[in-house]
Amino acid sequence: MRLARWIIAGSIPLLLVTANVRLVMSPLWLQVEYTRPGFPADPFGFTTSDRLTFGRSAVDYLVFQQDIAALGSLRFEDGRPLFNERELVHMRDVQILTTWAFALAIFSGFLNLAAVGWLTRRGDWQIARRGLKHGGLLTIALLVIIVTLAILGWEFFFTGFHQLFFADGTWYFLTSDTLIRLFPEQFWFDSALAIGGLTILEALVLIGVATRRGKPA
pLDDT digit string (tens) for 116-130? Answer: 999 988 888 888 899
The answer on pLDDT for 95 being more than 90 is yes
Higher-pLDDT residue of 205, 155: 205
Higher-pLDDT residue of 180, 150: 180
Please tell me the predicted confidence (pLDDT) of residue 213.
Answer: 61
* Prediction pTM value: 0.88
The answer on pLDDT for 56 being more than 70 is yes
CA distance 25 to 27: 7
Range list of H helices, 80-184: 85-121, 125-152, 154-165, 178-182
* Segment holding 203, helix H or strand E: helix 185-210
Residue 148: pLDDT band with limits 50, 70, 90: confident
- Express the helix, strand and coil content of the chain in percent, nearest 5 each: 75, 0, 25
Map out the domains of the chain as residue ranges.
2-210
Taking residues 52-74, what's their average pLDDT? Answer: 97
Contact 178, 55 (CB under 8 A): no
Q: Which amino acid is at 30?
A: L
